[in-house]
Structure 1
């Protein structure tokens, strides 16, 4: 028998992880998966008398009473002591779980929006067909809780990573199994201090803009799950993406090596190396909700582009650290675009209030009026140089001047500069300055038409 013990309570956070998507749509199955895990890895009172390898029929005979149906139909209420007779609330709320019903229902409502869970709780959790139960086993195997081979299911020697329940947390004195090094250090400190209720009241909330349409939420969750499975393999496989490109206004196919996931400005992106939708760069940030299909490929597949083959055979495939290095070189999320120096002027009062003392990028640096003048002389050729020097003469030396390396054509940078208008003026690059001026002129016409 496996020595691993699963005793987690059915907290909504754990159920959300087991759901691999919408908990609201998969609630009963997800709770059932939790019961499965207790029956396979629970303590001596809960764990079924099964070998470490077993068939569905063997689990069925150990879990249900002898009179439980062996056919394909939904079981009737044949035995009040059979596990198929217990309601969902009987599985959830008892002395063993220690879950308080109203608190659990409030948590469920907060996570899923389910305002009335009474009907669900009164349903027989295992009053379902053999086919549905077989589907549960397949999900557990997909999640890494079981291994399927030779028409049998095998217990695992190591549990997959998962969120910890409050009971686990008290024992381990950790926030969860996942480290928090992906967060900014200031946020890590806030989470460590305020991630839990204080005297029964939650005092910390994190609100982010998230523009992924609700109809694709489950799909985004599925892609994240599949990528997690890929990254657990050695070697990590390349993938073929079918991608709905907003820029090209068409569906394209790209063969790439998946490197990491970023949440950035309202959406989740896969940073990948290989082919880009427009075939102009080797890197690309793919928005997860626009991925239509994801197919793992073998490293010897003939569809692999030459750059991927070379890196694979040289064992120099890129890592998340490579992306972090490139992002540190220039301001902008599209780290694979060429970089360029930018000179910006802010109104002094605006800079004092909203820019000075903030962190924008490693290369975002305040300079003096004289340094700004010198930069124009050093970096800009005639006739644009003389034009910009004349413009600078009409600006106050008391204003705030900043230089920064940025990624050309990065949409996030363009949006940030728009948000700062009219308190921010791009002095150079000259072509960017001209582009912004054209946008401002169009905007002016919109507001001054009668």
Structure 2
């Protein structure tokens, strides 16, 4: 059985999804879409049996509005509802009445969340809640039906006709719409610990700061939090000044809104390429965000210099554009290859990234992978390597199996001989580890540097040579 009960309540997240991630611009439409979808599909309204299949707009119009409603297609917005004054027609009901009349919602929390998702000021929120979503021209309602067809809620068997879908064929909601957000009250100690953690990690997700403030207000107003020493601390490195942090948060909010749209969107921005020391304009399909080694990164799909699609990670604080430019799918600035993926339903997903991250150690998951062999003094390995998880493939290797490992992972005969010669000159009493890494991944290289001088790279030779060169340069700093 298909569960569509999540449609019953017009949560801000549901409205945001129905608006295609543009709740601020489509608030009234999102209310209309929610109302129509619930009437079409929820059994308590049973419009499925009262509407012909397929149905026309006039048939829907007559089912939706009171008999007093103006039926003239060319009528203005004011004229359409003028004849319905003081009636029970749906055009006389405000957005607030439609939302809160028949469903149980925490009004204050709902309003706060809508303001956050839509970017409304207090006055804008008040104005939109008091507006009349169905007090609109017939052309707008016809466009709503077209939009429901485009987003998969209706079928259009022929011109001017619409048909309900079977429940199994309805659009699949994002996971956040299916999560029950009503949790059991937390004990005082749990509230205190949660508050400290939220305050420490709020920079990762801007919404957490709002949650922390709300929780703080609750526990202080209730008097449930005694004045005691903080016993739980979370220390996370984050290297951005406040001004840059605000800009990065704005990028993140924009991206999260885009990801509420069924097919996302393509964005464009200027970013600083540190290795090349130059600015470039990037046009990419954004997929997901990561926080790693003191910064936030956007994983996105782009067209490279040889006109091939590829993955790339962008550090958010190195984007210099005041805002991310959102390109409509019809834009000529979007690479044709990306449009083709969209048309074929093959746009990249975060699942592809997760799979690549599992293959090898390294956040730059699109780089070539090589097999790493490390040697450590046994005492150092015991305390700093053995009981830590670097990557599922990075495991302890017995000295006696190293030859077999080298022969299995290194096909170049010269490299294989050099590696085996190195191993023969090392002690069987040392600890050895091996696993797949992404070559030239910055975070992996930083970990190898952190292990110096207690860790030696034995293979591959390209990584060993990289470490040797760095050590040679460092040694020059301490000659006097």
Structure 1 contact 337–410 (Cα < 8 Å) conserved: yes
Decide which moves more: 145-154 or 83-92. Answer: 145-154
Structure 2 contact 267–325 (Cα < 8 Å) conserved: no
| Separation in structure 1 between the aligned mates of residue 268 and residue 98 of structure 2, nearest angstrom | 42
Q: CA deviation at 1:421?
A: 7.0
Q: CA deviation at 1:85?
A: 1.6
Q: How does 1:21-60 map to 2 (within 5 A)?
A: 21-43=21-43, 45=45, 47=47, 49-60=50-61
Q: How does 1:154-193 map to 2 (within 5 A)?
A: 154-158=163-167, 159-162=170-173, 175=179
1:103 counterpart = 2:109: yes
| Separation in structure 2 between the aligned mates of residue 221 and residue 44 of structure 1, nearest angstrom | 31
Structure 1 SS opposite 2:23: coil
Q: CA deviation at 1:397?
A: 6.3
Decide which moves more: 151-160 or 353-362. Answer: 353-362
Unaligned runs of 5+ in 2: 206-244, 315-323, 331-335
Structure 1 contact 14–164 (Cα < 8 Å) conserved: no
| Separation in structure 2 between the aligned mates of residue 165 and residue 330 of structure 1, nearest angstrom | 29
Q: CA deviation at 1:352?
A: 5.7
Residue 341 of structure 1 corresponds to: 371
Structure 1 contact 270–287 (Cα < 8 Å) conserved: yes
Q: How does 1:292-311 map to 2 (within 5 A)?
A: none
1:305-332 superposed Cα distances (whole Å, 9 cap, x missing partner): xxx9xxx9xxxxx999999887655434
Structure 1 contact 54–154 (Cα < 8 Å) conserved: yes
Structure 2 contact 367–438 (Cα < 8 Å) conserved: yes
1:384-403 superposed Cα distances (whole Å, 9 cap, x missing partner): 7699679978xx967x6421
1:429 counterpart = 2:430: no
Aligned residues: 380
TM-score in terms of structure 1 length: 0.60
| Separation in structure 2 between the aligned mates of residue 152 and residue 129 of structure 1, nearest angstrom | 19
Q: CA deviation at 1:157?
A: 1.6
Decide which moves more: 40-49 or 147-156. Answer: 40-49
Q: How does 1:113-128 map to 2 (within 5 A)?
A: 114=120, 116=122, 117-128=125-136
| Separation in structure 1 between the aligned mates of residue 114 and residue 19 of structure 2, nearest angstrom | 13
Judged with a 3 Å threshold, the aligned counterparts in structure 2 of structure 1 residues 66 and 20 are, in CA distance, closer, same or farther, namely same
| Separation in structure 1 between the aligned mates of residue 143 and residue 377 of structure 2, nearest angstrom | 63
Judged with a 3 Å threshold, the aligned counterparts in structure 2 of structure 1 residues 294 and 435 are, in CA distance, closer, same or farther, namely farther
1:136 counterpart = 2:144: yes
Residue 236 of structure 2 corresponds to: none
| Separation in structure 2 between the aligned mates of residue 397 and residue 244 of structure 1, nearest angstrom | 52
TM-score in terms of structure 2 length: 0.57
Judged with a 3 Å threshold, the aligned counterparts in structure 2 of structure 1 residues 79 and 292 are, in CA distance, closer, same or farther, namely closer
Taking only aligned residues, the RMSD between alpha carbons, in angstroms, comes to 5.7
| Separation in structure 2 between the aligned mates of residue 40 and residue 223 of structure 1, nearest angstrom | 26
Residue 277 of structure 1 corresponds to: 304
| Separation in structure 2 between the aligned mates of residue 341 and residue 263 of structure 1, nearest angstrom | 27
| Separation in structure 2 between the aligned mates of residue 118 and residue 443 of structure 1, nearest angstrom | 62
Residue 237 of structure 1 corresponds to: none
| Separation in structure 2 between the aligned mates of residue 319 and residue 101 of structure 1, nearest angstrom | 35
| Separation in structure 1 between the aligned mates of residue 42 and residue 97 of structure 2, nearest angstrom | 17
Judged with a 3 Å threshold, the aligned counterparts in structure 2 of structure 1 residues 7 and 287 are, in CA distance, closer, same or farther, namely same
Judged with a 3 Å threshold, the aligned counterparts in structure 2 of structure 1 residues 122 and 62 are, in CA distance, closer, same or farther, namely same
Structure 2 SS opposite 1:92: helix
Structure 1 SS opposite 2:77: coil
Q: How does 1:237-316 map to 2 (within 5 A)?
A: 266=296, 269=299, 277-279=304-306, 284-285=310-311
1:6-26 superposed Cα distances (whole Å, 9 cap, x missing partner): 861112232232232243443
Unaligned runs of 5+ in 1: 170-174, 177-194, 230-239, 296-302, 313-317
Structure 2 SS opposite 1:66: coil
Structure in which a larger fraction of residues adopt helix: 2
Structure 1 SS opposite 2:91: helix
| Separation in structure 1 between the aligned mates of residue 55 and residue 468 of structure 2, nearest angstrom | 71
Judged with a 3 Å threshold, the aligned counterparts in structure 2 of structure 1 residues 213 and 440 are, in CA distance, closer, same or farther, namely farther
Residue 17 of structure 1 corresponds to: 17
Q: CA deviation at 1:197?
A: 1.9
1:145 counterpart = 2:149: no
Structure 2 contact 39–45 (Cα < 8 Å) conserved: no
| Separation in structure 1 between the aligned mates of residue 25 and residue 425 of structure 2, nearest angstrom | 60
| Separation in structure 2 between the aligned mates of residue 113 and residue 403 of structure 1, nearest angstrom | 49
Structure 1 contact 340–408 (Cα < 8 Å) conserved: yes
| Separation in structure 2 between the aligned mates of residue 72 and residue 319 of structure 1, nearest angstrom | 44
| Separation in structure 1 between the aligned mates of residue 418 and residue 272 of structure 2, nearest angstrom | 34
| Separation in structure 2 between the aligned mates of residue 165 and residue 283 of structure 1, nearest angstrom | 30
Q: CA deviation at 1:97?
A: 0.9
Structure 2 SS opposite 1:54: coil
| Separation in structure 1 between the aligned mates of residue 154 and residue 204 of structure 2, nearest angstrom | 37
Judged with a 3 Å threshold, the aligned counterparts in structure 2 of structure 1 residues 114 and 338 are, in CA distance, closer, same or farther, namely same
Residue 83 of structure 1 corresponds to: 90
Residue 363 of structure 1 corresponds to: 393
| Separation in structure 2 between the aligned mates of residue 442 and residue 38 of structure 1, nearest angstrom | 68
Residue 73 of structure 1 corresponds to: 77
Q: How does 1:391-430 map to 2 (within 5 A)?
A: 401-410=432-441, 413-414=444-445, 417=448, 426-430=457-461
